[in-house]
Amino acid sequence: MQRYLMFFTALLLAMPAYSEEFPAPFGLTWKMSEKELRSHGFSDASNTGGLKIMQSFSAPKAWSKAEKYYAVTYEGELVKAIAVSKSFTDDVYGSEGKELYNQMKAILTEKYGTPTNSFEVVGNSLYDEPDEFYQCLDYSGCGNYLSIYEFNGGTIGIRLEGERRGQGYLQVGYESPYFSAAKADISSANTESDTEAF
C-alpha cells in the first residue's frame, strides 16, 4: 500500500499543472496575484462581468512592438494576458500591419503548430478598396486578419484591428485554461442569480 501511495504521489508530481502546460507570455505567471501584477506596473482599469482588467505600459519580458499590456484577473488571479502594439499610422494599404501580423504568425506557428483557424480576408462589404484596409477591419462583416491557436487547454490569438483610414494595431492575446473555467463560473453564478430573481 505504501509503495502504491508513493508511486501515485510521484505520478501526481510528474504531471504538469496548467501553468506549466500552457505558456504565460510577457514574463507573467498564470494565477499570479493582483498585488504581484501591481509590482510589475499594472494598475486597475475596469471591472466587467466578474473579471477585472488591469493595464500597464511595460511587462517583465517586454515585446518590442507593444504599446500597452492588459492583465485580466478572476478572483484576484491572472487568467488572461493581452499585448497591444503601437498604432500603425499612414498605412492605408495595411502593409506595415500585415508585415507584423505575418511575423507574429510565423513565430507562433513555429512554437505552437499550425493555427486552428485563420481568417485573412478584407473587402467583403462596404470598404472594398485597397486603401480602405483598416476601415474594413473596423467594419463588422467586412474583413478579418485573425489567427487562433488552441494549445494545451488554452487559446492564443493574433488579430489586426482597424481604427480609421490608414490606422490600426495588432493585438496578441493568451487565454489560459483558467480563463475558460472563470467564464464557466461566472455564467453559472449569473444563471443562479437570474433563477433567484423570479
Give the pLDDT confidence of 22-36 residue by residue, as tens digits. 999 999 999 999 999
Range in 38-42, 90-94, 184-188, 190-194 with the lowest mean pLDDT: 190-194
Is residue 7's pLDDT more than 50?
A: no
Segments in the chain forming alpha helices (H): 2-14, 18-21, 34-39, 95-112, 133-138, 177-197
Is residue 6 situated within a structural domain?
Answer: no
Measured in whole angstroms, the distance separating CA 169 from the mean position of its chain's CA atoms is: 14
Is residue 180's pLDDT more than 60?
A: yes
Q: Which three cell numbers stand for residue 194?
A: 437570474
Q: What local confidence, expressed as pLDDT, does residue 8 receive?
A: 36
Is residue 192's pLDDT more than 80?
A: no
Looking at the structure of the chain, the number of domains it has is: 1
Q: For residues 172 and 158, is the Cβ–Cβ distance under 8 A? A: yes
Is residue 29 situated within a structural domain?
Answer: no
Confidence of residue 185 (pLDDT cuts 50, 70, 90): confident
Is residue 10 situated within a structural domain?
Answer: no
> How far apart are alpha carbons 56 and 14 in whole angstroms?
35
Confidence of residue 1 (pLDDT cuts 50, 70, 90): very low
Is residue 171 situated within a structural domain?
Answer: yes
Is residue 8 situated within a structural domain?
Answer: no
Q: What local confidence, expressed as pLDDT, does residue 194 receive?
A: 64
Nearest to 97 by CA among 157, 162, 142: 162
Is residue 4 situated within a structural domain?
Answer: no
Q: For residues 91 and 85, is the Cβ–Cβ distance under 8 A? A: no
DSSP percent split of the chain into helix, strand, coil, nearest 5 = 35, 35, 30
Q: What local confidence, expressed as pLDDT, does residue 10 receive?
A: 39
Is residue 90 situated within a structural domain?
Answer: yes
Confidence of residue 49 (pLDDT cuts 50, 70, 90): confident
Q: For residues 139 and 127, is the Cβ–Cβ distance under 8 A? A: yes
Average pLDDT in the 2-13 region?
38
Domain region containing 169: 34-197
Is residue 57 situated within a structural domain?
Answer: yes
